[in-house]
Structure 1
């Protein structure tokens, strides 16, 4: 992984002045997912280049896999900014950092998301706010979806189901397991990790009436897909 990073960094900075959507982070993250043993299969209607994704969250593998498949940037908790090297890597992929527990800054965070949608294109959020065990969905937090109420009404909002199949419980980063322990445990596996990325139907205009409606509609779409395939 370090060798791939060292190879990609010069190319990233070489291309940076010439493109608004640098492809190198997508190549890098796709390769990281492959090195970790993730075999990606996609189903459903392919997304537009400019799309707001709403996905369930099971593992740190979700991020390189989804970014590698779609080129999306992410909305992430600002706790990651305390880890310097990790923050730097996230910023290379245009990550939007937000303080989800600071209600006083919600308006500023919404403006951050709107700006990212205009500048980056695809943007993804994990509205559960944390990883789950992968077999059920946690409640969806809706505050940041306010960014889509008006100014971004022309951008599709597409739910995504990330499914690790029978390996889900072994892959999930849930409970009290430290992040480093989880990463080392997954990287030590010999068997490949199958991941199906299911692109569900974009939300309709009625389903986008407001942020709470969007959160509920996206959660229902993902839950229905999970129920059909269990």
Structure 2
């Protein structure tokens, strides 16, 4: 029965894609405003088919320019976040060459980053800043890689420079950076638990087709998306200090979601995080 369900999901998504892909391609070429909304439709249909239930805590900032900094556990994050508001992602350059997913990423108007060439960081940051200034909400998975869904890895500060670059030459533009937590909490309405969360997470050397099939056959995921308070950025903002602030906020929100507890002040959240992983095997950092 699960295999039949997965086949049905693939069939319907194929039909939907055959309709929306040409429309999105034309919208991008003609720079039509609908180019921001067609991917939203695709992700909402995909979420409904798979059975992904998303509970939002807080709300996305309405002000623009906006950079969203989120934790990253799985390719499922893309569909979860893509189903909420019109946005685009910042991804590693390898994604652009992936079959099917690379095409979908390009149609989402993703900005690709070559991590092996640090000299390109400034150029990419300028591109992100331009898109933000044009009104696009950009999502940066600030850990730089995915993990097993039970933790938040250290944030990388390099591309957060896009926020200050979006201020403009006079620095009179208000630019916002908003922390965002994605936590996978349950299967079929039951607590997922630490041991089962990696079944949803996609990290390390996991093969994408097998993981994709597993999600399609299991489905019924309960996800909590928690929006933190937007941070106003100005010319005096220290990029590394901002990175630490965002990392601590996302970690606090994620731990609270996984433990199903209210968000406490940062000091307490760090203590809870250590308790959460006490007597457990520490997560191993996934490969880029």
TM normalised by structure 2 equals 0.72
Of 5, 9, 14, the match for 1:2: 14
Partners of 2:73 and 2:240 lie apart in 1 by: 22
Partners of 1:81 and 1:8 lie apart in 2 by: 19
Q: Match for residue 277 of structure 2? A: none
Matched, 1:180 2:212: no
Bigger shift: 81-90 or 58-67?
81-90
- Answer yes or no: is the 8 Å Cα contact 2:69–2:140 preserved in 1: yes
Task: Say which structure, 1 or 2, has more relative contact order (CA 8 Å, 6+ apart).
Answer: 1
1:176-206 Cα offsets, whole Å, 9 max, x none, are 32121111111111x5101111111112558
Bigger shift: 5-14 or 49-58?
5-14
Distance 1:49 1:9, change over 3 A: farther
Q: Match for residue 136 of structure 1? A: 151
Matched, 1:169 2:198: yes
Partners of 1:169 and 1:175 lie apart in 2 by: 11
Bigger shift: 99-108 or 112-121?
112-121
Instruction: Indicate the RMSD between aligned Cα atoms, in angstroms.
Output: 2.2
Matched, 1:217 2:222: no
Q: Match for residue 147 of structure 1? A: 162
Of 90, 100, 110, the match for 1:95: 110
Once the two structures are superposed, the pairs formed by residues 28-177 of structure 1 within 5 Å of their partners are 28-48=42-62, 50=64, 51-83=66-98, 85-152=100-167, 154-165=174-185, 166-167=191-192, 168-177=197-206
- Answer yes or no: is the 8 Å Cα contact 2:56–2:225 preserved in 1: yes
Bigger shift: 48-57 or 148-157?
148-157
TM superposition shift of 1:10: 4.2
- Structure 1: which 5+ residue stretches go unaligned? none
Bigger shift: 1-10 or 11-20?
11-20
TM normalised by structure 1 equals 0.89
Equivalent position SS for 2:55: strand
Aligned residues: 228
Partners of 2:14 and 2:103 lie apart in 1 by: 15
Partners of 1:41 and 1:81 lie apart in 2 by: 30
Partners of 2:78 and 2:85 lie apart in 1 by: 11
